[in-house]
Structure 1
Amino acid sequence: MKNITYIISLLIAYFFVMLFCYAGISKVLDFENFQVQIAQSPLLSAFAGPVSYSVILIELIIVGLLLIPKLRLLGLYASLGMMTAFTLYIYLILNYSDFVPCSCGGILEKMGWTEHLIFNVACILLSLTAVIIIEKRKQTRKTKYIISSGIVIILSCLLVVTLFLQSEHIIKKENNFTRKFLPNFIIEGENTGLGHDGYYFAGKDNKGLYLASRNTPLILMKIDYSLKTTESLKIIPDHSDYPFKSLQIKVKPPYYYLYDGTVPVIYRGILNNSAAKTISKGDAFFSQLAVIDSSHFILRTQNSRTHEYTIARLRTGPKANINLFPSVLEKQIDGIFDCDGKLTENQQQMGEFLYTYFYRNQLIMINDSLPRVKRQSTIDPISKAQMNIAQLSNGTHIMNAPPVRVNILSAFYGNFVYNISGLPGKFEPARLRKGRKAVDIYRTDRNEYVGSFYLPKQKIEDMIITHEGLYIISGEKLLRYHFRKPLKGEAENLTTE
């Protein structure tokens, strides 16, 4: 009988030798892929580097322990701990994860997650069986090996739970530029041709989107959310004898606004009515504009004294005035190139705006509390603009070399910012990106990173998010993407099944 139990324990030990050999070697042979998959784990993303090396090393060490008779018991205890950790990890994935990722190499590639959970539980029982057999042969007290097994199981569980909690905190609050990709987050929908390029989003209403073109700046086009019907409006300003350089349009129902900050002039007209009347002339020069209401605007202008970019609030009308808020945009180098960025409007919540720096990892939320603003960092580590700026003899600033572009384009909807990043994160090889752009999602009310998704490979001129989905202007095309499911805390109708 003793010989039979010994043979059983030996067979179990050799089973784990084969299991960990196969798992460890397969990970080594495809290490890059294994590390990428660990980085996409919803539980271990922040520790992809150390975990990917540690798992392989521990598996191979266990193999060595199991092959040495005097250390076999230690190897079986280690097998028990390892399989317990794997089992709890899979249980957490299946029950507490936002999504179920792809496999992580080794034997896991041959099974589904539920099947592997069952397999792991069986392995735990096998390792316990072998431990009990060997401990009994050594005449170890029953309470001793029960306590030892319990300690191994508890410590393994504590390790996995600790890594999970720490990884969640690091990814959301202290991210080291490791993206957590949300699988199948968007579904490609309808698309339509625009006839020519140069279009941008001017705004929206409850029925559709408004587009304007830099090539035909006095034409406002409306297209319904399903991209099936379009209509156009030719705007006729009451005064047009100005040296316009950059006429643009914004829509905030029931009005549209035609403006050129180089003149500077702002017109206002009622939607579906061609006549646009001047509501501001000479009040302030500006390079960007966002609409608060029919007579109040957020501007990006330049301080007349320092010539640095500054956020301002303009009130039009008989008592027109402009207030500058120089503390909002923070100078790092010259206050111009280093502060360059994009001013966008929250498409769900009125009176909220976003300023995204192009060359540093920061977003600025702006509302009526100016000059107080809320700042939030993106997961990119570049906190200071990386650019080489020279000043000419006439005082003009130029860049001597192309700067590092951190953020490309942002859309603001509810409590979420969707930011197209300019740089790859950790564990994102070129074969994974395939020329695609990553969109990083941030939750502004919690100041945390939510996750990322890839857009299909294409040019991206402009982007907007509405309750009907994500819309992108790509060259001469307008494309619509549906969200597979809404994010928690976002509008519940931000999806189309």
Structure 2
Amino acid sequence: MKKLIPYIPKVVSYFFILLFCYAAISKALDFENFQVQIGQSPLLSAYADYVSYAVIIIELLIVCILVFPNTQLIGLYSSTALMSAFTVYIFLILNYSDFVPCSCGGILEKMGWTEHLIFNIACVGFGIWAIYQLEKRNSKPMVKTLIILSVSNILSCLLIIFLFFSSEYIIKKDNNFTRRFLIHPVIEDKVLDLKVNSYYFAGIDNNTIYLGSLTAPLFLSEVNQDLSRINKRKINLSNKDHAFRNLQVQTLKNWIFVYDGTVPVIYRGDLKTLNAKMISHNDAYFTQFLAIDSSSFALRTQTTDDQKYSLALLNLDYPFPLTLKRDILQKQIDGVFDSDGYFVKDNNTGKLIYAYSYRNQLMVMNETMRLENRLKTIDTVSQAQIKVTALSDGRRKMSAPPLKINKGLATNRNIVFVHSTSMAKNESAKSWNDVSVVDMYFSDRQEYAGSFYIKNRKGEKLSKMIATDQFLFVIIGSELIRYRFTKPIKNLYRSGEAENLNKE
């Protein structure tokens, strides 16, 4: 054994040369994928561009230093410090990360994170042993060796800790358009073929999904949440003497509402019988409609004086039922196209959410439409990228294709699900055309919660979605698909519940 000890520094050096050389080359050969994996790391997402290059360069530099006998000692110190940094990184992943990502591949691709941790600790131990033997052979003071080892390893570990905390802040609070993809947050488990692609979500309760149809507007389809059965029923209106152009339905608790904002009428009926009577006539024209209760509604309308979009509250119990909320939607260009967006209501909390289509902002309101939060999405487009031309007859139209960043919206409890159309910095361009991305935000604070993909089906992308505590239901083409939420998203719901209890 004593005869082998003098060869330890050389053997350990050769081991690190092989390890770092293979790791650097494998990362370089599949660099785009490596960048995406670093970008999905819960510790280094914000620095993916820099870290992906830095890791490869540092590994190759250490290989070069280790090759030459005169710099072998420096190479061993550097190797040990780098492996200490990797060890701290894995420790933080396992103990302080919001989720545990997939392995970054390479020579240790088949190992789990715990095995990675053990392997790295062993490498640090071998590095220290090799340094000790080499310094001992050179009759260097052990105190000096310990100081250099301690300082180099502590500094490398502190760098990783700094990157962790600063990346967390950047990603969650001050995002520079870097997505963090949760690991398997949704799992597809049920599919129902609807035969046609004209359906939209009219509502949902504990057992049933309600679907409206653009091509058959006076029919309501009821689907069990297990997607085992669909039942189509006809809605009976008390008065049909109106030139409807966009008749739609919406359900809330035991009521059904039928409306067409191009005609200022609203019908209300019992969900059991589907007999609906007119409850509002000439109170307001509107472009979007949300039922708050049986006689109160959130609308998006256009003001008569300047024709800008405005949110409004329609309460039929008041003598003057319509109240405009002019300060919520903010004009940037024309007050119409630039303020276009999606309006949804969470039936659990009563919160109303409006997300702009062409800029990175969403608004959170209570049921009286009092503005509670203006929150930013991680997309960096804060100014609507649209061009509008006024026609001679007073109408306006888009004069160039707009840059649309949000395409859909859903909310449940403390989480807002945004269907984004923008590719972030850390995503693969190869797979972008095959998926739709859903970003998640907390509705009670400025914090990005993570993202996940919904794969295209039969060449069609996600068009509509609605969320419950257990499931995300989406419509893609002519199919209704149920995705089951897994622990990463259920934990987000629980964190919101805990915070709400603390506030109370």
TM-score range, shorter chain: over 0.9
Task: Tell me the distance in 1 between the aligned counterparts of 2:19 and 2:295.
Answer: 71
Indicate which of 458, 479, 487 corresponds to 2:490: 487
Distance 1:9 1:231 in 2: 75
CA deviation vs aligned residue, 1:106-129 (integer Å, no higher than 9, x gap): 322253322222221111111111
Write out aligned runs for 1:378-417 (5 A). Answer: 378-417=377-416
**1:322-337 equivalent positions in 2, closer than 5 A:** 322-337=322-337
Q: Can you list the C-alpha shifts for 1:250-291, whole angstroms capped at 9, x where unaligned?
A: 111121111111110011111112321111100111111111
Of 465, 468, 485, which residue of structure 2 is paired with 1:466?
Answer: 468
Deviation at 1:431, TM superposition (A): 2.4
1:470 partner letter:
L
Alignment of 1:113-132 (within 5 A): 113-132=113-132
Alpha carbons 1:348, 1:466 under 8 Å: kept: no
Q: How many equivalent residue pairs?
A: 492
Structure 1 residues 182-261: aligned runs within 5 Å: 182-261=182-261
281-290 vs 475-484, which moves further: 475-484
Shift of 1:134: 2.1
1:230 positional shift? 3.0
SS in 1 for 2:339: coil
Find the counterpart in structure 2 of residue 442 from structure 1: 441
C-alpha deviation, 1:309, in angstroms? 0.4
Q: Deviations over 1:58-86 (max 9, x none)?
A: 11111122223332222111111101011
Shift of 1:45: 1.0
What is the CA-CA distance between 1:88 and the residue it aligns to? Answer: 1.3
| Residue in structure 2 matched with residue 375 of structure 1 by the alignment | 374
Distance change in 2, residues 1:186/1:144 (3 Å) = same
Give the Å deviation of 1:4.
5.4
Map residues 73-472 of structure 1 onto 2, 5 A cutoff: 73-317=73-317, 319-350=319-350, 352-368=351-367, 370-458=369-457, 459-472=461-474
For 1:226, what is the secondary structure of its paired residue?
coil
The answer to whether the 8 Å contact 1:286/1:302 transfers is: yes
Provide the TM-score with structure 1 as the length reference. Answer: 0.94
TM-score (norm 2): 0.93
1:354-377 CA distances to partner (integer Å, 9 max, x unpaired)? Answer: 111111111111214644341111
| Alpha-carbon distance in structure 1 between the residues aligned to 2:52 and 2:447 | 25
**How far apart are 1:318 and its partner, in Å?**
6.3
Structure 1: runs of 5+ lacking an equivalent = none
The equivalent residue for 2:13 is 13
SS at 1:338 equivalent: helix
| Cα distance in 2, alignment partners of residues 461 and 215 from structure 1 | 16
Amino acid at match of 1:130: A
Measured in 1, the distance between the counterparts of 2:318 and 2:23 equals 76
Residue-by-residue CA offset, 1:196-247 (whole Å, 9 max, x unaligned): 2211111122221111111111112222111223333322222211111111
**What are the superposed Cα offsets for residues 287-313 of structure 1, whole Å, 9 maximum, x if unpaired?**
111111111111000011110100011
Aligned Cα root-mean-square deviation (Å): 2.0
* Secondary structure, aligned partner of 1:209: strand
Distance 1:120 1:317, change over 3 A: closer
Choose 139-148 or 447-456, whichever is displaced more.
139-148
Q: Distance in 2 between matches of 1:301 and 1:328?
A: 12
For structure 2, which runs of at least 5 residues remain unmatched after alignment?
Answer: 498-504
SS of the equivalent of 1:398 reads: strand
Separation in structure 2 between the aligned mates of residue 38 and residue 119 of structure 1, nearest angstrom: 20
Structure 1 residues 10, 460: closer, same or farther in 2, change over 3 A?
Answer: closer
Once the two structures are aligned, what percentage of the paired residues are identical? Answer: 47
3-state SS of 1:157 partner:
helix
